[in-house]
Structure 1
């Protein structure tokens, strides 16, 4: 399965809970993010009794000849940033200045900063199984702190400041032979970011130093993965020895394909699919697309203005406003298949 197709499913996980209806950060339920797959700095996690994890581990089985097997592994997560719109006559607030170690440059202005997420990918391509079969391989995860200033055209001197804190971590890959042609692959992701300011005691602040909605995409060449959900009976003892931490690996692709695995922080079944009637992601898998789309259309002009402040929610608004009556009807209800019931009638 092509990586682009897998990412359509993975993006539903990446942005699950990113912002919920009514898609503005001023809403109470959006003031604290509830996204899955958070990997927090080790210092923060251990200081809070391990309540928030600092590591994620994927263990899965694959089969083939060791000398032929190779893997493409992609680790993905969101890196949160602070976005502030600064009017030309903004003045620094001395009281807010005291929080600069936590919020940085952007928060020193009177306007309330917003949060945005930037997609981060770490790809390890053409990894030979033999290379990690004899000794683990460690790959650094490093994203430096950044601060950018944007001057939108025709904005009369307004500045948009986007500021991100540094992230650091490590990915460790290892493998062991568990049968003649079956191997157990382990991928451990750790957040080793040094905690700054008072983030140790503030969950909202520590999110900017965390890996958000973390998941892993694995593709094997000249081999195949073994389902951990529905393995052959003789493989069940080997499956029971796979210990996954804060993640659940499932097969993805067309039914029966076994070359791609998605290790998801959300419990899924093998071969998850996005409903073809869905016009696009809404960041809330627990909602019904039709109802949520209708709700978006009822938002006030001021609420829509706030929704446009984030590029991801702006895309939702523009897509929803462009829906045709036929597209709404497709969301109203779909029969996937018909099958006979016990009396021979179709159900």
Structure 2
């Protein structure tokens, strides 16, 4: 496969990876002075070894996935991360030379000190047959210092000094056959920060970031063959998938058009075949979940705030310009989108179906619009026992699909309040947790925690 083919293969994954790469890069209101931008880059930070272990920062990540390569297959890997480029602001002195300053105010922007993120890539191609012996790729990113003069109305008023520290790292790829009759392999990909110098163990995070691999994630592709989903593997591979050990990495299928030839190993939790919403007008660095409100809020910034945002970072400047120039029809698209439709029954329903309809005019998504479901009386079979409103259960949240905070509820007792059916045919149990002092308020407001049937174990009914 040519380099161009490899790039096309990763195109869909790279669009999602960009959101991961810049997750929390510069949060609204997109100014260096904002409190939320004082502690940046929360995901995928591979710090220099020997620093930060006590504070929760680590120097490596490991990905394990299952794959079924065809004869002659080549594995393509692309490691992407941000390299912190520290920016100092200097003011031009009347007699010549420059002096550091807290900020440099210009007519169109306010320049301040800031850590910019420069994207770095490491690409690897290796025949799958060579992975049994292991393949190691060491890489170095050179450090440098650059300066950029700042002019206003044709006059030199200052300069920006950009400094990057050298980075050193290693990618190790190995593959081992799975036991049994299936021609499948377990692929292990490890990424290590191998910095040759590191800040003191008690140095703060700001001192360590210039030598860290920031927002590190890995894309893996096969030119012949496929990867297996760890979330929904075939039955024969379920045990092997469950034994895959992923450390600070969450691998999901990410091939084009739902293909299984690409895996994105992300530092944040994703689902198989993640995609950027087509309505999104651009990167807003807030997880792509609240584009409309972020755009509206950005448009309400004062002129001074917009100038500071434009001077904080070129990406922040692009966000401000996007909000200022967005046509009404583009903004309207952010207000909501229908991903799929199903037939809605109405007048003229064939005989025998009319008794299933709810009250006339009831929305199709309202439980009252379908007499075949009733959250208060419906029951679902779990481990051979019927569970419904009033049932006592023990919570067993699924490790790969639940909210991270739900994991703290593992093993806790709960009371089922309702059995709900979503529009896709899924079943969800609304519960209140034993010992929750706000349980009565939750019932009054109809705000519950929700788990799927295979995430609970039934106890005796209340």
TM range (shorter): 0.7 to 0.9
How far apart in 2 are the matches of 1:62 and 1:90? 65
What's the secondary structure of 1:43's corresponding residue?
coil
Contact 2:276 2:288 in 1 (8 A): no
Alignment partner of 1:30 is 2:37: yes
Alignment partner of 1:130 is 2:129: yes
What's the secondary structure of 1:293's corresponding residue?
helix
What's the secondary structure of 2:19's corresponding residue?
helix
Q: 1:148 aligns with which of 146, 149, 153?
A: 146
Q: 1:193 aligns with which of 189, 192, 195?
A: 195
Q: 1:80 aligns with which of 77, 84, 95?
A: 84
How far apart in 1 are the matches of 2:324 and 2:197? 42
Taking structure 1 as the reference length, the TM-score comes to 0.88
Q: Residue 271 of structure 1 aligns with which residue?
A: 273
The structure whose RCO (Cα within 8 Å, separation 6+) is larger is: 1
- Counterparts in 2 of 1:90 and 1:223: CA distance versus 1, 3 Å: farther
Q: Residue 101 of structure 2 aligns with which residue?
A: 110
Q: Residue 57 of structure 1 aligns with which residue?
A: 62
Q: CA deviation at 1:122?
A: 0.3
Q: 1:70 aligns with which of 71, 74, 78?
A: 74
Q: CA deviation at 1:64?
A: 2.8
Instruction: Give structure 1 stretches of 5+ with no counterpart.
Output: 92-105
1:147-187 alpha-carbon deviations (Å, 9 max, x no partner): 00112453514211110111112111111111441011111
Q: Residue 440 of structure 2 aligns with which residue?
A: none
Q: 1:220 aligns with which of 210, 219, 222?
A: 222
How far apart in 2 are the matches of 1:220 and 1:155? 54
Q: CA deviation at 1:3?
A: 2.3
- Counterparts in 2 of 1:196 and 1:187: CA distance versus 1, 3 Å: closer
Taking structure 2 as the reference length, the TM-score comes to 0.67
Q: Residue 294 of structure 2 aligns with which residue?
A: 292
What's the secondary structure of 1:308's corresponding residue?
helix
- Counterparts in 2 of 1:69 and 1:160: CA distance versus 1, 3 Å: same
Contact 1:23 1:313 in 2 (8 A): yes
Q: CA deviation at 1:339?
A: 2.9
Q: Residue 13 of structure 2 aligns with which residue?
A: 6
Q: CA deviation at 1:241?
A: 2.1
How far apart in 1 are the matches of 2:56 and 2:267? 16
Q: Residue 330 of structure 1 aligns with which residue?
A: 333
Contact 2:199 2:207 in 1 (8 A): no
Alignment partner of 1:171 is 2:171: yes
RMSD: 2.3
What's the secondary structure of 1:328's corresponding residue?
helix
How far apart in 2 are the matches of 1:276 and 1:188? 33
Contact 2:12 2:256 in 1 (8 A): no
How far apart in 1 are the matches of 2:294 and 2:324? 12
Contact 2:51 2:200 in 1 (8 A): no
Q: Residue 303 of structure 1 aligns with which residue?
A: 305
Q: 1:139 aligns with which of 137, 143, 148?
A: 137
Q: CA deviation at 1:311?
A: 1.1
Instruction: Give structure 2 stretches of 5+ with no counterpart.
Output: 1-7, 103-111, 346-355, 358-362, 366-462
1:186-239 alpha-carbon deviations (Å, 9 max, x no partner): 110111213445574211221111111111111101111111110111110111
Which of structures 1 and 2 has the bigger CA Rg? Answer: 2
Contact 1:137 1:173 in 2 (8 A): yes
Q: Residue 102 of structure 1 aligns with which residue?
A: none
Contact 1:74 1:216 in 2 (8 A): yes
Q: CA deviation at 1:318?
A: 1.4
1:255-292 alpha-carbon deviations (Å, 9 max, x no partner): 54111110001100001111111101111117511111
Q: CA deviation at 1:51?
A: 2.0
